[in-house]
């Protein structure tokens, strides 16, 4: 009797668990590095640095990766709101895609008019696909936040993977994710 009930329960719950496992969607943004390239605030006042026609006092670079960690492909039609990352406290000077895996993702990175937000568009991200991008900033130590509304996802976490300067190890911490209106 007990064996029959156990087999019946397994027969009911196994397909449900398998469906959840194989249909799971998950995206994450990995914060790989942040470096101050130029800091004239700590130097002589007479030093002037320009990026194009803009005078800047601090120049830094941030490297990030968007990765599909789930088991389900994410298509452009799954995005109810575009995928964006906001850099608070700094101004974006330049942003570029530095790596795609596979190489034919054809992702597009755009700086929005507010100069503090980038928007990444893609047609398809299969399981394991990744897009790496580098952002050049006027300022340092930006506060990053992810904003997206994607079918099947409750949130897109921002995971800190920068090297910890004190220990030399990798620290992993979810910084912030935004994407739900409530």
CA distance 95 to 150: 23
Q: How many CB atoms lie within 10 A of CB 147?
A: 16
Q: What is the pTM of this model?
A: 0.75
What's the rounded Cα separation, in Å, for the pair 97 and 106? 10
Cα 76 to chain centroid distance, Å, stands at 16
Q: Which residue, among 63, 58, 66, 28, has the nearest Cα to 163 in the 3D structure?
A: 63
Class of domain 26-174: mainly beta
Query: Which sequence spans correspond to the domains of the chain?
Result: 26-174
Q: Which of 16-25, 158-167, 169-178 has the highest mean pLDDT?
A: 158-167
Cβ(131)–Cβ(66) below 8 Å? yes
Residue 111 and residue 48 in contact, taking contact as beta carbons nearer than 8 Å: no
Quick one: average pLDDT of 143-159? 90
Q: What is the pLDDT of residues 127-137, one digit of tens each?
A: 999 999 999 99
Helices (H), 23-94: none
pLDDT tens for 50-68 read: 888 888 888 999 999 999 9
């Amino acid at each position: 009797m007990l064996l029959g009930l156990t087999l019946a329960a397994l027969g009911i719950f196994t397909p449900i668990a398998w469906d959840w496992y194989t249909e799971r969607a998950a995206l994450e943004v990995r914060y790989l590095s942040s470096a101050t390239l130029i800091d004239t605030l700590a130097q002589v006042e007479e030093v002037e640095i320009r990026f194009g026609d803009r005078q800047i006092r601090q120049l830094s670079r941030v490297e990030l990766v968007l990765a599909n960690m789930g088991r389900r492909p994410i298509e452009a039609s799954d995005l109810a709101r575009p995928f964006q990352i906001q850099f608070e406290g700094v101004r974006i000077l330049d942003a570029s895609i530095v790596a795609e895996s596979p190489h034919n993702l054809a992702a597009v990175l755009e700086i929005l008019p507010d100069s503090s937000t980038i928007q990444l568009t893609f047609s398809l991200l299969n399981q394991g696909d990744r897009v790496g991008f580098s952002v050049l900033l006027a300022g340092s130590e930006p506060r990053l936040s992810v904003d997206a509304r994607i079918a099947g996802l409750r949130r897109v976490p921002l995971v800190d993977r920068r090297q910890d300067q004190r220990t030399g190890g990798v620290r992993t911490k979810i910084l912030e994710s935004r994407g739900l209106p409530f």
